[in-house]
Amino acid sequence: MAIPGIAANAYAATARLVTPGAGIDRTVGDAAAGKSGDFGAMLRDVVNDVAAAGRRSDSQSQAMVAGKANIVDVVTAVAETETAIQSLVSVRDKVIQAYEEIMRMTI
């Protein structure tokens, strides 16, 4: 069964999202260091990374249909895409929750 390999690849993909120099930590770290960070650019980069993971998953699926890919590679690509989408949805939910909390504040 390929579950440990899928899990390892999913964890590696998640680690790439939060390593210094990539994704959210880069912008937060730059802002903390006094460098200007653009939230829109950070968000665009994260969405582009999720879209790229989806494209990799699609290309692996197409290669599998053509008989040029291994099923383990396809499942791994799909699992990585699923992890990236779940992370993005989780961040979206937290942003909405923060917005709603701010809107409930009295001035």
Mean pLDDT (the chain) is 77
Give the residue carrying structure tokens 């390593």. Answer: 19
CA distances from 83 to 71, 100, 105 (A): 18, 26, 33
| pLDDT at site 20 | 52
Evaluated on CA atoms 82, 85, 91, 92, the torsion sign reads: negative
Structural domain boundaries in the chain? 3-104
Closest CA to 50 of 76, 20, 14, 7: 14
Give pLDDT < 50 ranges for the chain.
1-2, 23-29, 31-34
Within 10 A of 64 (CB to CB), how many other CB atoms are there? 16
| pLDDT at site 10 | 59
